[in-house]
């Protein structure tokens, strides 16, 4: 699985001692996001991640947010410019 933020061609290696959440759906589906140090509330709130593959092209953002009881996955909620 590709790590969000890694450059194409870089090895997809998770750093020891880090925590990762899988991105579900949308343009970043299947990638993993480093959520080390995120609180439970931050996981629920999620993040707007820069992506070139979303509905708004380069510089657009894909919103991923957590679901109660599922801290290891962030679900796509839509794209924004």
d(CA 62, CA 72): 18
Taking the chain (81 residues) in consecutive chunks of 10 residues, what is each chunk's mean pLDDT? 80 87 96 95 96 89 95 96 91
In a domain, 6, yes or no: no
In a domain, 10, yes or no: no
Tell me the residue range of the domain where 62 lies: 20-80
In a domain, 69, yes or no: yes
In a domain, 45, yes or no: yes
**H/E segment holding residue 45:** helix 40-45
pLDDT of residue 70: 92
In a domain, 38, yes or no: yes
Bridge partners (DSSP) of residue 78 are 63
> How many domains would you assign to the chain?
1
In a domain, 67, yes or no: yes
In a domain, 4, yes or no: no
User: pTM (2 decimals)?
Assistant: 0.88
In a domain, 2, yes or no: no
Q: How far apart are the first and last CA of the chain?
A: 26
């Amino acid at each position: 699985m590709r790590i969000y933020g890694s450059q194409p061609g870089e090895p997809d290696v998770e750093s020891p001692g880090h925590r990762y959440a899988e991105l579900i759906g949308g343009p970043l589906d299947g990638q993993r996001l480093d959520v080390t140090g995120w609180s439970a509330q931050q996981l629920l709130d999620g993040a707007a991640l820069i992506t070139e593959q979303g509905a708004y092209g380069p510089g657009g953002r894909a919103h991923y947010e957590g679901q109660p009881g599922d801290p290891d996955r962030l679900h796509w909620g839509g794209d924004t410019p």
